[in-house]
Protein backbone atom coordinates (compact mmCIF):
# COMPACT_ATOMS: atom_id res chain seq x y z
CA UNK A 1 0.00 0.00 0.00
CA UNK A 2 1.49 3.34 -1.07
CA UNK A 3 1.81 6.40 1.14
CA UNK A 4 -0.93 8.11 -0.86
CA UNK A 5 -3.28 5.17 -0.40
CA UNK A 6 -2.60 5.17 3.35
CA UNK A 7 -3.47 8.86 3.45
CA UNK A 8 -6.76 8.25 1.66
CA UNK A 9 -7.64 5.43 4.06
CA UNK A 10 -6.75 7.64 7.02
CA UNK A 11 -9.22 10.23 5.72
CA UNK A 12 -11.87 7.53 5.39
CA UNK A 13 -11.02 6.39 8.91
CA UNK A 14 -11.50 9.87 10.35
CA UNK A 15 -14.73 10.21 8.40
CA UNK A 16 -15.94 6.89 9.80
CA UNK A 17 -15.47 8.17 13.35
CA UNK A 18 -17.47 11.29 12.57
CA UNK A 19 -20.05 9.13 10.82
CA UNK A 20 -20.42 6.70 13.68
CA UNK A 21 -20.86 9.61 16.10
CA UNK A 22 -23.67 10.83 13.87
CA UNK A 23 -25.20 7.35 14.05
CA UNK A 24 -25.03 7.57 17.83
CA UNK A 25 -26.74 10.97 17.83
CA UNK A 26 -29.48 9.80 15.45
CA UNK A 27 -30.02 6.75 17.66
CA UNK A 28 -30.24 9.13 20.62
CA UNK A 29 -32.92 11.25 18.91
CA UNK A 30 -34.93 8.15 18.03
CA UNK A 31 -34.58 7.01 21.65
CA UNK A 32 -36.57 10.06 22.69
CA UNK A 33 -39.27 9.54 20.07
CA UNK A 34 -39.87 5.78 19.76
CA UNK A 35 -41.42 3.96 22.69
CA UNK A 36 -39.29 0.77 22.90
CA UNK A 37 -35.99 2.65 22.69
CA UNK A 38 -37.36 5.38 24.93
CA UNK A 39 -37.87 2.82 27.70
CA UNK A 40 -34.25 1.70 27.38
CA UNK A 41 -32.90 5.23 27.20
CA UNK A 42 -34.81 6.41 30.27
CA UNK A 43 -32.53 4.23 32.39
CA UNK A 44 -29.68 6.54 31.38
CA UNK A 45 -31.55 9.67 32.49
CA UNK A 46 -32.61 8.08 35.77
CA UNK A 47 -29.01 7.28 36.71
CA UNK A 48 -27.89 10.87 37.45
CA UNK A 49 -28.68 13.61 39.93
CA UNK A 50 -28.58 17.27 38.85
CA UNK A 51 -24.88 17.57 39.69
CA UNK A 52 -24.14 14.40 37.67
CA UNK A 53 -23.45 12.34 40.77
CA UNK A 54 -24.87 8.81 40.50
CA UNK A 55 -28.24 8.00 42.00
CA UNK A 56 -26.85 4.55 42.79
CA UNK A 57 -24.20 2.18 41.37
CA UNK A 58 -26.91 -0.40 40.67
CA UNK A 59 -29.02 2.02 38.63
CA UNK A 60 -25.91 3.21 36.77
CA UNK A 61 -24.97 -0.38 35.88
CA UNK A 62 -28.46 -1.06 34.54
CA UNK A 63 -28.35 2.15 32.50
CA UNK A 64 -25.13 0.95 30.88
CA UNK A 65 -26.61 -2.46 30.11
CA UNK A 66 -29.98 -1.25 28.79
CA UNK A 67 -28.89 1.92 26.98
CA UNK A 68 -25.18 2.06 26.25
CA UNK A 69 -24.66 -1.56 25.21
CA UNK A 70 -27.42 -1.59 22.53
CA UNK A 71 -26.37 1.89 21.39
CA UNK A 72 -22.79 0.65 20.86
CA UNK A 73 -24.02 -2.43 19.02
CA UNK A 74 -26.02 -0.25 16.62
CA UNK A 75 -22.96 1.94 16.02
CA UNK A 76 -20.80 -1.12 15.29
CA UNK A 77 -23.44 -2.75 13.13
CA UNK A 78 -24.09 0.28 10.95
CA UNK A 79 -20.43 1.10 10.34
CA UNK A 80 -19.46 -2.56 9.89
CA UNK A 81 -22.22 -2.99 7.30
CA UNK A 82 -21.09 0.12 5.40
CA UNK A 83 -17.45 -1.05 5.50
CA UNK A 84 -18.42 -4.49 4.15
CA UNK A 85 -20.70 -3.05 1.47
CA UNK A 86 -18.15 -0.54 0.18
CA UNK A 87 -14.99 -2.55 0.68
CA UNK A 88 -13.18 0.54 2.04
CA UNK A 89 -10.70 -0.63 4.70
CA UNK A 90 -10.50 2.74 6.45
CA UNK A 91 -14.16 2.53 7.44
CA UNK A 92 -13.39 -0.32 9.81
CA UNK A 93 -11.80 2.22 12.11
CA UNK A 94 -15.30 3.46 12.94
CA UNK A 95 -16.36 -0.07 13.85
CA UNK A 96 -13.30 -0.50 16.09
CA UNK A 97 -14.02 2.91 17.66
CA UNK A 98 -17.58 1.74 18.40
CA UNK A 99 -16.22 -1.49 19.90
CA UNK A 100 -14.40 0.63 22.45
CA UNK A 101 -17.75 2.04 23.60
CA UNK A 102 -19.17 -1.49 23.79
CA UNK A 103 -16.31 -2.82 25.91
CA UNK A 104 -16.57 0.16 28.28
CA UNK A 105 -20.37 -0.19 28.55
CA UNK A 106 -20.13 -3.90 29.36
CA UNK A 107 -17.43 -3.20 31.94
CA UNK A 108 -19.53 -0.55 33.64
CA UNK A 109 -22.65 -2.72 33.55
CA UNK A 110 -20.75 -5.37 35.50
CA UNK A 111 -19.38 -2.95 38.06
CA UNK A 112 -15.80 -3.20 36.78
CA UNK A 113 -15.65 0.48 35.73
CA UNK A 114 -17.35 2.93 38.03
CA UNK A 115 -15.99 6.10 36.46
CA UNK A 116 -18.30 7.68 33.93
CA UNK A 117 -17.30 9.50 30.75
CA UNK A 118 -16.12 13.12 30.74
CA UNK A 119 -19.51 14.59 29.78
CA UNK A 120 -21.05 13.08 32.94
CA UNK A 121 -18.36 13.93 35.46
CA UNK A 122 -19.94 15.15 38.72
CA UNK A 123 -19.47 18.61 40.16
CA UNK A 124 -20.31 22.25 39.38
CA UNK A 125 -20.36 23.45 35.79
CA UNK A 126 -17.31 25.66 35.31
CA UNK A 127 -17.47 26.27 31.55
CA UNK A 128 -20.04 27.59 29.13
CA UNK A 129 -21.45 25.15 26.53
CA UNK A 130 -18.88 24.59 23.81
CA UNK A 131 -19.58 25.18 20.14
CA UNK A 132 -18.48 22.15 18.11
CA UNK A 133 -17.63 19.50 20.73
CA UNK A 134 -19.93 18.43 23.56
CA UNK A 135 -18.71 19.35 27.04
CA UNK A 136 -20.33 18.84 30.45
CA UNK A 137 -22.33 22.08 30.34
CA UNK A 138 -23.68 21.27 26.88
CA UNK A 139 -24.71 17.75 27.88
CA UNK A 140 -26.10 18.90 31.24
CA UNK A 141 -28.68 20.90 29.30
CA UNK A 142 -29.92 17.71 27.65
CA UNK A 143 -30.41 15.98 31.00
CA UNK A 144 -31.84 18.79 33.10
CA UNK A 145 -32.84 21.73 30.89
CA UNK A 146 -34.76 20.07 28.05
CA UNK A 147 -34.43 16.37 27.23
CA UNK A 148 -35.63 17.09 23.69
CA UNK A 149 -32.61 19.24 22.83
CA UNK A 150 -28.80 19.04 22.94
CA UNK A 151 -28.70 15.44 21.70
CA UNK A 152 -25.02 15.49 20.68
CA UNK A 153 -22.71 12.91 22.24
CA UNK A 154 -19.36 14.23 21.02
CA UNK A 155 -19.99 16.56 18.08
CA UNK A 156 -22.76 19.19 18.04
CA UNK A 157 -23.34 18.83 14.28
CA UNK A 158 -26.74 17.13 14.41
CA UNK A 159 -28.11 19.65 16.92
CA UNK A 160 -27.04 22.47 14.63
CA UNK A 161 -28.85 20.84 11.72
CA UNK A 162 -32.02 20.12 13.69
CA UNK A 163 -32.07 23.43 15.57
CA UNK A 164 -31.82 21.69 18.95
CA UNK A 165 -28.53 23.21 20.11
CA UNK A 166 -30.51 25.77 22.13
CA UNK A 167 -33.90 25.20 23.69
CA UNK A 168 -36.07 28.28 24.23
CA UNK A 169 -38.95 26.37 25.80
CA UNK A 170 -39.93 27.81 29.19
CA UNK A 171 -36.96 30.21 29.13
CA UNK A 172 -37.47 33.68 30.56
CA UNK A 173 -36.16 35.98 27.83
CA UNK A 174 -35.91 39.74 28.38
CA UNK A 175 -35.75 42.05 25.36
CA UNK A 176 -34.72 45.72 25.49
CA UNK A 177 -36.05 48.11 22.88
CA UNK A 178 -39.20 46.03 23.20
CA UNK A 179 -41.60 48.67 21.91
CA UNK A 180 -39.77 49.04 18.59
CA UNK A 181 -40.34 47.02 15.43
CA UNK A 182 -37.54 44.52 16.07
CA UNK A 183 -38.34 44.26 19.76
CA UNK A 184 -41.98 43.45 19.05
CA UNK A 185 -40.99 40.94 16.36
CA UNK A 186 -38.52 39.21 18.69
CA UNK A 187 -41.08 39.01 21.50
CA UNK A 188 -43.56 37.39 19.12
CA UNK A 189 -41.03 34.89 17.78
CA UNK A 190 -39.73 34.00 21.24
CA UNK A 191 -43.25 33.38 22.47
CA UNK A 192 -43.92 31.21 19.43
CA UNK A 193 -40.92 29.09 20.46
CA UNK A 194 -42.24 28.53 23.97
CA UNK A 195 -40.38 31.26 25.84
CA UNK A 196 -41.70 33.51 28.58
CA UNK A 197 -40.91 36.95 27.12
CA UNK A 198 -40.22 40.04 29.20
CA UNK A 199 -40.34 43.51 27.64
CA UNK A 200 -37.66 45.86 29.01
CA UNK A 201 -38.81 49.21 27.70
CA UNK A 202 -38.41 52.93 28.14
CA UNK A 203 -42.00 53.23 26.87
CA UNK A 204 -44.06 51.24 29.41
CA UNK A 205 -47.30 52.70 28.02
CA UNK A 206 -46.70 50.98 24.69
CA UNK A 207 -49.01 48.13 23.70
CA UNK A 208 -47.66 44.60 24.11
CA UNK A 209 -49.17 41.22 23.39
CA UNK A 210 -51.08 39.46 26.15
CA UNK A 211 -48.79 37.41 28.37
CA UNK A 212 -45.73 39.62 27.91
CA UNK A 213 -44.42 40.91 31.21
CA UNK A 214 -43.40 44.58 31.02
CA UNK A 215 -40.57 46.15 33.04
CA UNK A 216 -39.79 49.86 32.73
CA UNK A 217 -36.17 51.02 32.68
CA UNK A 218 -34.06 53.87 31.35
CA UNK A 219 -30.38 54.19 30.44
CA UNK A 220 -28.19 55.00 33.40
CA UNK A 221 -30.34 53.01 35.84
CA UNK A 222 -29.36 49.47 34.84
CA UNK A 223 -28.40 48.38 38.36
CA UNK A 224 -32.04 48.83 39.39
CA UNK A 225 -32.80 45.80 37.20
CA UNK A 226 -30.31 43.53 39.02
CA UNK A 227 -32.92 41.52 40.95
CA UNK A 228 -35.17 41.13 37.89
CA UNK A 229 -32.23 40.04 35.71
CA UNK A 230 -31.38 37.22 38.12
CA UNK A 231 -34.65 35.60 37.08
CA UNK A 232 -33.89 36.01 33.37
CA UNK A 233 -32.33 33.17 31.35
CA UNK A 234 -31.56 35.11 28.16
CA UNK A 235 -31.05 38.86 27.90
CA UNK A 236 -31.45 40.33 24.42
CA UNK A 237 -29.99 43.85 24.18
CA UNK A 238 -31.81 45.35 21.24
CA UNK A 239 -32.36 49.05 22.03
CA UNK A 240 -30.74 51.87 20.10
CA UNK A 241 -31.04 55.42 18.86
CA UNK A 242 -30.13 57.08 15.59
CA UNK A 243 -29.58 60.85 15.65
CA UNK A 244 -28.83 60.82 11.90
CA UNK A 245 -26.93 64.01 10.89
CA UNK A 246 -26.93 65.64 14.32
CA UNK A 247 -23.43 66.03 15.83
CA UNK A 248 -24.17 68.27 18.79
CA UNK A 249 -22.80 67.55 22.26
CA UNK A 250 -26.23 66.28 23.33
CA UNK A 251 -26.43 63.98 20.32
CA UNK A 252 -22.97 62.56 21.07
CA UNK A 253 -23.84 61.93 24.72
CA UNK A 254 -27.17 60.33 23.84
CA UNK A 255 -25.70 58.07 21.15
CA UNK A 256 -22.90 56.83 23.40
CA UNK A 257 -25.16 56.22 26.38
CA UNK A 258 -28.05 54.55 24.58
CA UNK A 259 -26.12 52.58 21.97
CA UNK A 260 -23.04 51.59 23.97
CA UNK A 261 -22.61 52.29 27.68
CA UNK A 262 -26.15 51.30 28.72
CA UNK A 263 -25.76 47.99 26.91
CA UNK A 264 -22.45 47.38 28.66
CA UNK A 265 -24.04 48.19 32.04
CA UNK A 266 -26.90 45.77 31.35
CA UNK A 267 -24.42 43.03 30.44
CA UNK A 268 -22.50 43.60 33.66
CA UNK A 269 -25.66 43.59 35.77
CA UNK A 270 -26.83 40.36 34.13
CA UNK A 271 -23.48 38.57 34.41
CA UNK A 272 -23.15 39.54 38.07
CA UNK A 273 -26.22 37.40 38.73
CA UNK A 274 -24.79 34.25 37.14
CA UNK A 275 -23.79 32.74 40.47
CA UNK A 276 -25.73 29.48 40.47
CA UNK A 277 -24.03 26.08 39.89
CA UNK A 278 -25.80 25.71 36.55
CA UNK A 279 -25.96 29.34 35.37
CA UNK A 280 -23.03 28.95 32.99
CA UNK A 281 -24.96 26.28 31.09
CA UNK A 282 -28.26 28.10 30.67
CA UNK A 283 -27.67 31.87 30.76
CA UNK A 284 -27.07 33.83 27.56
CA UNK A 285 -26.74 37.41 26.28
CA UNK A 286 -27.63 38.42 22.72
CA UNK A 287 -26.50 41.88 21.59
CA UNK A 288 -27.82 43.64 18.50
CA UNK A 289 -24.67 45.49 17.42
CA UNK A 290 -25.77 46.25 13.84
CA UNK A 291 -24.10 45.97 10.47
CA UNK A 292 -22.62 49.37 11.28
CA UNK A 293 -19.79 47.46 13.00
CA UNK A 294 -18.22 46.86 9.60
CA UNK A 295 -20.02 49.13 7.15
CA UNK A 296 -21.45 52.61 6.69
CA UNK A 297 -24.84 53.49 8.12
CA UNK A 298 -24.80 57.05 6.72
CA UNK A 299 -25.15 58.28 10.30
CA UNK A 300 -21.73 58.99 11.86
CA UNK A 301 -22.73 58.87 15.53
CA UNK A 302 -24.74 55.69 15.02
CA UNK A 303 -21.70 54.07 13.40
CA UNK A 304 -19.29 55.26 16.11
CA UNK A 305 -21.48 54.15 19.00
CA UNK A 306 -22.41 50.80 17.48
CA UNK A 307 -18.79 50.03 16.61
CA UNK A 308 -17.84 50.87 20.18
CA UNK A 309 -20.54 48.49 21.41
CA UNK A 310 -19.32 45.78 19.05
CA UNK A 311 -15.73 46.17 20.26
CA UNK A 312 -16.83 46.05 23.90
CA UNK A 313 -18.90 42.92 23.33
CA UNK A 314 -15.94 41.19 21.69
CA UNK A 315 -13.78 42.17 24.66
CA UNK A 316 -16.41 41.02 27.18
CA UNK A 317 -16.56 37.62 25.52
CA UNK A 318 -13.10 36.91 26.91
CA UNK A 319 -13.73 34.77 29.97
CA UNK A 320 -17.46 35.59 30.10
CA UNK A 321 -19.55 33.39 32.43
CA UNK A 322 -22.16 32.81 29.74
CA UNK A 323 -22.59 32.62 25.98
CA UNK A 324 -22.63 36.06 24.34
CA UNK A 325 -24.09 36.19 20.85
CA UNK A 326 -23.82 39.10 18.44
CA UNK A 327 -26.74 39.99 16.20
CA UNK A 328 -25.49 41.83 13.12
CA UNK A 329 -28.42 43.15 11.12
CA UNK A 330 -28.71 44.93 7.84
CA UNK A 331 -31.42 47.49 7.01
CA UNK A 332 -34.83 46.37 8.24
CA UNK A 333 -37.95 48.51 8.26
CA UNK A 334 -38.44 50.31 11.60
CA UNK A 335 -39.02 53.76 13.09
CA UNK A 336 -35.24 54.23 13.10
CA UNK A 337 -35.03 53.23 9.44
CA UNK A 338 -38.36 53.61 7.60
CA UNK A 339 -36.72 52.78 4.26
CA UNK A 340 -35.35 49.41 5.43
CA UNK A 341 -35.77 46.62 2.89
CA UNK A 342 -36.21 43.66 5.26
CA UNK A 343 -39.26 43.08 7.44
CA UNK A 344 -38.67 42.92 11.18
CA UNK A 345 -40.70 39.71 11.52
CA UNK A 346 -38.63 37.93 8.86
CA UNK A 347 -35.38 39.07 10.49
CA UNK A 348 -36.59 37.97 13.94
CA UNK A 349 -37.44 34.49 12.63
CA UNK A 350 -33.96 34.12 11.19
CA UNK A 351 -32.29 35.43 14.35
CA UNK A 352 -34.09 32.91 16.54
CA UNK A 353 -33.57 30.05 14.07
CA UNK A 354 -29.82 30.71 13.91
CA UNK A 355 -29.54 31.04 17.70
CA UNK A 356 -31.22 27.63 18.07
CA UNK A 357 -28.42 26.30 15.85
CA UNK A 358 -25.87 27.85 18.22
CA UNK A 359 -24.61 30.47 15.78
CA UNK A 360 -22.65 32.88 17.98
CA UNK A 361 -22.37 35.65 15.35
CA UNK A 362 -25.83 35.95 13.79
CA UNK A 363 -25.72 37.91 10.52
CA UNK A 364 -28.94 38.81 8.70
CA UNK A 365 -28.48 41.26 5.85
CA UNK A 366 -28.90 41.71 2.13
CA UNK A 367 -25.29 42.91 1.84
CA UNK A 368 -23.07 39.94 0.86
CA UNK A 369 -19.89 41.80 1.87
CA UNK A 370 -20.93 41.70 5.53
CA UNK A 371 -20.78 37.89 5.51
CA UNK A 372 -17.11 38.24 4.53
CA UNK A 373 -15.96 41.34 6.39
CA UNK A 374 -17.60 40.72 9.76
CA UNK A 375 -16.13 37.24 10.44
CA UNK A 376 -12.69 38.56 9.43
CA UNK A 377 -13.03 41.60 11.68
CA UNK A 378 -14.32 39.50 14.60
CA UNK A 379 -11.58 36.88 14.26
CA UNK A 380 -8.72 39.36 14.06
CA UNK A 381 -10.07 41.52 16.86
CA UNK A 382 -10.67 38.50 19.09
CA UNK A 383 -7.07 37.44 18.51
CA UNK A 384 -5.84 40.94 19.33
CA UNK A 385 -7.80 41.02 22.59
CA UNK A 386 -6.57 37.54 23.47
CA UNK A 387 -2.97 38.62 23.03
CA UNK A 388 -3.12 42.04 24.68
CA UNK A 389 -5.77 41.86 27.41
CA UNK A 390 -5.90 39.95 30.68
CA UNK A 391 -8.30 37.04 30.87
Domain assignment of residue 110, given as a range: 3-129
Dihedral sign computed on CA atoms, order 35, 38, 40, 43: negative
Q: Are 44 and 67 in contact (CB under 8 A)?
A: yes
Is residue 157 in some structural domain?
no
pLDDT tens figures, 350-377: 999 999 999 999 999 999 999 999 999 9
pLDDT the model gives residue 4: 66
Is residue 152 in some structural domain?
no
Reported residue count of the chain is 391
Domain boundary at 72, 105, 129, which?
A: 129
Looking at the structure of the chain, the number of domains it has is 2
Q: Give kind and range of the element (H or E) at residue 383.
A: helix 370-388
Domain holding 326: CATH number? 3.40.50.720
97 is known as an active-site residue? no
Q: Are residues 230 and 346 part of one domain?
A: yes
Q: Are residues 230 and 366 part of one domain?
A: yes
Q: Are residues 283 and 229 part of one domain?
A: yes
Is residue 165 in some structural domain?
no
Q: Is 300 left (phi over 0), alpha (psi -120 to 50) or beta?
A: alpha
Domain boundary at 95, 129, 163, which?
A: 129
Is residue 316 in some structural domain?
yes
Is residue 325 in some structural domain?
yes
Is residue 336 in some structural domain?
yes
Q: Are residues 318 and 195 part of one domain?
A: yes
Q: Are residues 306 and 374 part of one domain?
A: yes
pLDDT the model gives residue 165: 98
Q: Please give the average pLDDT of every successive group of 10 residues along the chain, which has 391 residues.
A: 78 95 97 95 95 92 95 96 95 96 93 78 92 96 97 96 97 95 95 96 86 91 92 96 93 96 96 88 96 91 96 95 96 76 93 98 96 97 92 65
Given the residues 27, 151, 302, 371, select the one marked as catalytic: 302
Dihedral sign computed on CA atoms, order 21, 22, 25, 27: negative
Q: Are residues 367 and 296 part of one domain?
A: yes
Amino acid sequence: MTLGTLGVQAIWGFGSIVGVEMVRDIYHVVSHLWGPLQWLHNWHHRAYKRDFTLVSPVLYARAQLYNDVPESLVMMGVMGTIALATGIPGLWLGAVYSAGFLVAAIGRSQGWLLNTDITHEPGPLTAIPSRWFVNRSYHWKHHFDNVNANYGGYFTILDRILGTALSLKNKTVAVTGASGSMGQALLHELRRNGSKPVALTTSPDATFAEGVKVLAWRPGHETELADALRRVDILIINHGVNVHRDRSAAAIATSLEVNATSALALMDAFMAGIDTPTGRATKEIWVNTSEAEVGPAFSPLYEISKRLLGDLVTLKRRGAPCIIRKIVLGPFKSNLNPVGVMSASWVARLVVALAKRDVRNIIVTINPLTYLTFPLKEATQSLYFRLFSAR
